[in-house]
Amino acid sequence: MSGLKIKEKTIVVPGEILAAGMDYLPSFGTYREGDNIRAGRLGIAQVEGKVIKLIPVSGRYLPKRGDMIIGKIIDVSMSGWRVEINSPYSAMLMTKEATNEFIDKGANLTRIYNFDDYIVCGITNVSSQKLVDLTMRGPGLRKLRGGRIIEVNTHKVPRIIGKSGSMVGMIKHATGVNIIVGQNGLVWLNSEEPAMEVLAVETIRKIEAEAHIAGLTDRIKEFLEKKTGKKIELGSEQREERKDFERKEFENGNGESQ
């Protein structure tokens, strides 16, 4: 009784047997127990050659090296800041990664980042013990001022960003709202036009709800055109340049795949 036990791209629940025998190899989100490969979380199973992997549909954010995230300062210590990153693990931002400027020994670190400040930062390393290291050195990494932050399902983030930033680029273009999408499911929005900000939030919620239905980009385009009353041209200008941190992500194949 060996071989695949499920059809490809079906939703599986934790503990479900995906394959029996040694013909397949467990990958992300799956594990081997005896002869069987089982699902480790709720998600969609994918078979690539001999490798079975699982794309989670729910659950908390798990930090990954190279991700650009939005975090909140929860502690200021002698050598850096502890950051809450909407994940089971908190992260550490060391002083030498905090700014490009020189920080005096014994300087008051709250002057740079204080409690409850929100920052856009990158993950430089995640150890096997899940100690997360952050950096503020990189393009687009900064402290956030004003605006609002909403929480979205972290597994829908690739859909919100779209292929090389096309989806979020379209929302930005149509509404004129400044948007930063963190891989950890926190989205920062800011605009001078509050009505447009409301529309941008509405659009993101729509993407989140309909992420699994085909033809998402066209539907969102139609939705935005109807709401703003302006025509959106899907051209090269929407495929705007993403920050280095995210681009690396897409090269690793974590972006939207259709």
Binding residues for another protein, rule CB under 8 A, total: 14
Closest distance of CB 64 from another protein, Å: 23
Helix (H, G, I), strand (E, B) or coil at 164: helix
Q: Is 113 in the site for another protein (CB under 8 A)?
A: no
**Residues in 200-239 at the binding interface with another protein, rule: CB under 8 A:** 202
Q: How far is CA 31 from CA 1, 62, 127, in A?
A: 18, 17, 20
Closest distance of CB 163 from another protein, Å: 27
Q: Is 149 in the site for another protein (CB under 8 A)?
A: yes
Q: Is 146 in the site for another protein (CB under 8 A)?
A: yes
Query: Residue 101 is encoded by which pair of tokens?
Result: 């400027």
Closest distance of CB 119 from another protein, Å: 13
CA atoms within 13 A on the CB side of 135: 15
Nearer to another protein, 92 or 149 (CB): 149
Single out the segment in contact with another protein by CB under 8 A; choices: 94-102, 124-132, 146-154, 177-185: 146-154
Cα separation, 105 vs 100, in Å, equals 15
Q: Is 74 in the site for another protein (CB under 8 A)?
A: no
Can you tell me which of 118, 177, 216, 246 binds another protein, judged by CB under 8 A?
118
- Other Cβ atoms within 10 Å of 239 Cβ, number: 15
Place of tokens 């390393």: 125
Nearer to another protein, 3 or 146 (CB): 146
Q: Is 198 in the site for another protein (CB under 8 A)?
A: yes
Q: Would you put residue 138 in left (φ > 0), alpha (ψ -120 to 50) or beta?
A: left
Task: Locate the DSSP E strands across 41-176.
Answer: 43-48, 51-56, 68-76, 80-84, 91-94, 118-126, 132-135, 143-144, 148-151
Closest distance of CB 157 from another protein, Å: 17
Residues that bind another protein (CB under 8 A): 118, 145-151, 190, 194-195, 197-198, 202
